[in-house]
């Protein structure tokens, strides 16, 4: 039997009279390192779904399991500890801090030594600092940000700030990483680079769950794609299957800003 990584069972989310997700199920199984995308027109419920998976919202009904453990309604912090992380929003970027300091800061949240040990500078804390500094450098290298390690965030272009946000998420050592529109606002060159880096993250053994409107990027990067439409899941399959699915094509017809890359 293949490993169960993440499972959403019959998730429904209501905001008053509005049903943002209705009976959405998704089962991510198999080897780590896959890229799985959730697509759908604006307002389809993609971000709502991600917020439930990562503990920022509680489903009205349904169940979420991470590696077989029920995480429904758990806090984002607890969910992150169990290995599922949603990337930091850009608002958590501090203009005066360098790229390296951002990743180190994100690491602080996940250090193993207690505060007291850090204050007393006990060996474990010192060792931790070295390990964390190395880990920060490794993450910056993976994200191709090494050259910007000592640059203050205020001087980093939009494309690199996006990558820095993802780097901060990686500091939590996730097994599953949720990226909600990581390429939005990037130019084609930046998108191309960010897609290649997303592949590298997956190749390092992190399962990536992606919400993205850039269909060219989605088709190129995804192992599997799930499609939401008005809160319901209408299709699931390989990029090829999704591209040729009549219901999906229908759902996207008339969407000027979103093309299926047909």
Ligand X SMILES: Nc1ncnc2c1ncn2[C@@H]1O[C@H](COP(=O)(O)OP(=O)(O)OP(=O)(O)O)[C@@H](O)[C@H]1O
Residues that bind Mg ion (CB under 5 A): 47
> Which of Mg ion, ligand X, none lies near 15, with the C-beta cut-off 5 to 8 A by kind?
ligand X
Backbone dihedral angles phi then psi of residue 202, each to the nearest 5 degrees: -65, -45
According to DSSP, residue 172 is labeled T
8 A C-beta contact, residue 56 and residue 76: yes
For Mg ion, give the closer residue by CB, 125 or 208: 208
Residues in touch with ligand X (CB under 6 A): 15, 18, 20, 40, 42-48
Tally of CA atoms within 13 A in the half-sphere of 158 that contains its CB: 10
> Which of ligand X, Mg ion, none lies near 40, with the C-beta cut-off 5 to 8 A by kind?
ligand X
Give the separation between CA 221 and CA 120, rounded to whole angstroms.
47
Q: How far is the CB of 50 from ligand X (least distance, A)?
A: 8
For Mg ion, give the closer residue by CB, 156 or 211: 211
Strands of the sheet containing 207-211, edge to edge, are 84-86, 176-180, 207-211, 35-39, 224-229, 232-237
For ligand X, give the closer residue by CB, 142 or 183: 183
Q: How far is the CB of 3 from ligand X (least distance, A)?
A: 28
Q: How far is the CB of 47 from ligand X (least distance, A)?
A: 3
For Mg ion, give the closer residue by CB, 41 or 237: 41
For 118-136, the DSSP string reads HHHT-HHHHHHHHHHHHHH
For ligand X, give the closer residue by CB, 14 or 110: 14
SS3 content of the chain, % helix, strand, coil (to 5): 40, 25, 35
Q: How far is the CB of 259 from ligand X (least distance, A)?
A: 14
> Which of Mg ion, ligand X, none lies near 261, with the C-beta cut-off 5 to 8 A by kind?
none
Closest of 247, 243, 241, 246 to residue 260, by C-alpha? 243
Q: How far is the CB of 97 from Mg ion (least distance, A)?
A: 27
């Amino acid at each position: 039997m293949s490993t169960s990584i993440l499972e959403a069972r019959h998730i429904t989310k209501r905001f008053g009279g509005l049903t943002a997700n209705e009976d959405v199920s998704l089962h991510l199984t198999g080897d780590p390192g896959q890229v799985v995308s959730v697509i759908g027109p604006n307002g389809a419920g993609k971000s709502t779904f991600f917020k439930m998976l990562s503990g920022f919202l509680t489903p009205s009904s349904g169940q979420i399991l991470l590696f077989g453990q029920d995480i429904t309604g758990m806090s984002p912090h607890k969910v992150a500890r169990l290995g599922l992380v949603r990337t930091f929003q850009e608002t958590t970027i501090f203009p005066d801090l360098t790229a390296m300091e951002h990743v180190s800061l994100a690491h602080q949240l996940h250090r193993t030594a207690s505060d007291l040990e850090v204050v007393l500078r006990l060996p474990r804390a010192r060792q931790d600092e070295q390990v964390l500094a190395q880990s920060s450098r490794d993450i910056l290298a993976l994200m191709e940000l090494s050259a910007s390690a000592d640059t203050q965030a205020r001087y980093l272009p939009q494309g690199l700030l996006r990558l820095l946000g993802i780097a901060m998420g990686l500091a939590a050592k996730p097994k599953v990483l949720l990226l909600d529109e990581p390429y939005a606002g990037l130019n084609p060159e930046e998108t191309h680079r960010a897609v290649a880096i997303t592949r590298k993250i997956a190749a390092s053994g992190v399962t990536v769950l992606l919400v993205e409107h850039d269909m060219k990027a989605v088709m190129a990067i995804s192992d599997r794609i799930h499609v939401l439409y008005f809160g319901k899941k209408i299709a699931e399959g390989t990029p090829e299957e999704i591209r040729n699915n009549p219901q999906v094509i229908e759902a996207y017809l008339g969407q000027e800003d979103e093309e299926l890359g047909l």
